[in-house]
């Protein structure tokens, strides 16, 4: 089933990781207007969204909005609607909202076109600046709670270490 939803004034836009470090599944959840949609994504996607949104916010004047920390928790037992592929982030000047656009990952043919005329799912969240900043801070915490990175090569290390390519 294709999901195509805009959250014009979401109650929450948040992320979490389920599982042990090294085996975690990352989720992004949008709640609002009586609906909750959860999507599966990669750790690097969560980190990239947070990084880019933080840079976007730095270019804007300060906001007087105050974030609500309780809006950062994930609803229990989430059903995953789709796996995230392409991501877009923008600023809507007229609405003074950060727009986060999450598209479903679909299989592509050699020309880069979707196979089997698949219509990709898509959700968009129109976040206040306070919501966007709260997401960034929370995403940094979630991403940072994983395995530590090797100080020589930057790759994640397991509890028992890892074969570091820079150490031979």
Which structural domains are found in the chain, ordered by start? 4-144 (3.30.2450)
* Among 154, 110, 128, residue whose Cα is nearest residue 63: 128
The answer to whether residue 100 scores a pLDDT higher than 70 is yes
The answer to whether residue 167 scores a pLDDT higher than 80 is no
Average pLDDT score over the chain: 89
User: What's the pLDDT at 163?
Assistant: 85
| Overall average pLDDT of the 153-157 stretch | 84
The answer to whether residue 67 scores a pLDDT higher than 70 is no
Helices and strands (DSSP H and E) totals, the chain: 2, 7
Give residue 20's pLDDT band: very low, low, confident or very high (50, 70, 90). confident
Give residue 70's pLDDT band: very low, low, confident or very high (50, 70, 90). low
Helix segments in the chain, DSSP class H: 43-58, 129-144
Vertex 19, ends 17 and 24: CA angle to 5°? 60
Q: What is the reported pTM? A: 0.85
HSE (CB half, 13 Å, CA atoms) of 96? 9
């Amino acid at each position: 089933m294709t999901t195509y939803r805009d959250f014009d004034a979401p109650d929450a836009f948040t992320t979490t990781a389920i599982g042990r470090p090294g085996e975690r599944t990352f989720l992004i959840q949008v709640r609002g207007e009586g609906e909750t949609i959860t999507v599966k994504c990669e750790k690097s996607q969560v980190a990239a969204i947070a990084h880019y949104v933080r840079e976007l916010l730095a270019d804007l004047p300060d906001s007087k909005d105050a974030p609500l920390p309780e809006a950062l928790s994930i609803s229990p037992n989430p059903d995953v609607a789709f796996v995230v592929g392409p991501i877009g982030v923008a600023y809507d000047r007229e609405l003074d909202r950060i727009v986060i656009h999450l598209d479903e990952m679909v299989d592509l043919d050699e020309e880069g076109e979707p196979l089997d005329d698949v219509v990709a799912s898509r959700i968009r969240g129109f976040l206040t600046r306070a919501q966007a900043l709260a997401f960034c801070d929370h995403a940094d915490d979630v991403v940072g709670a994983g395995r530590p990175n090797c100080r020589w090569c930057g790759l994640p290390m397991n509890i028992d270490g890892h074969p570091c390519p820079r150490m031979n």
